[in-house]
Amino acid sequence: MILPIYLYGQPVLRRPTEDVEPGELDVKQLVSDMYETLQAAEGCGLAAPQVGLSKRLFVVDGSELVEDYPECADFKQAFINPELIEESEETSVYSEGCLSLPGISENVTRPKTITIRYLDEDFKEHTDTFTDFKARIVLHEYDHLEAHVFTDRISPIRRQFCKGKLTNIAKGKTGARYKYKR
Ligand code: NI
């Protein structure tokens, strides 16, 4: 089932998230719905707050990016109750967008390499290290669990520049072609 994506201005994007407890919700159904939603919106990552849930869960799917980032071809997985355990001092800069902030893309500086501990949808624990584009997707989604959006991480001047666009999104003036809620 395709879920509506909550846009900038929705309070849930600024709310702290809670761990997913085993059995508390149908995680497999939720993950499957989030993959479907992500695919329909042609995105590469989606976090639970973006579908209205204050839970520590996100999914990634790199299949949209294969042409530019072949290493993302099979990068499709769920991260439940993730915990960042290491971030490199080395950083990279890349222009990011977000399904909750349609029409905005800005350069964001992030660590180049990260190590993250998380559960998969069978609640099995993993610790993985990701670099470059994979690390960036994971960090962007992880930010959503910490009640951040990527424009929190841009320079004050660029944020000022985006202010009008953000206000318009919150008012529902958006060209988003996917199902959304504002
Ligand atoms: Ni996002």
Cα dihedral angle (106, 111, 117, 119), rounded to 10 degrees? Answer: 20
CA dihedral sign of residues 8, 9, 12, 17 = positive
Per-residue model confidence as pLDDT tens digits over 151-168: 999 999 999 999 999 999
Report the separation in Å between the CA atom of 43 and the middle of ligand 1, taken as the mean of its atom positions: 9
pLDDT-derived band of residue 73, with 50, 70 and 90 as boundaries? confident
Tokens for 46, please give them.
């989606």
CATH architecture classification, 5-181? Alpha-Beta Complex (3.90)
Q: Which tens digits make up the pLDDT trace of 81-91?
A: 999 999 999 99
The model scores a pTM over 0.85: yes
CA of residue 149 to ligand 1 center, whole Å = 6
Q: Ligand 1 center to residue 95 CA distance, Å? A: 12
Q: pLDDT band for position 68 (50/70/90)?
A: confident
Ligand 1 (single-atom ion) residues, CB below 5 Å: 98
Identify the band that residue 66 occupies on the pLDDT scale cut at 50, 70 and 90: confident
Q: How far is the CA of 143 from the centre of ligand 1 (A)?
A: 8
Residues forming the active site: 141
Q: Are 182 and 7 in contact (CB under 8 A)?
A: yes
Sequence ranges of the domains in the chain:
5-181
Going from the Cα of 128 to the center of ligand 1, the distance in angstroms, rounded, reads 21
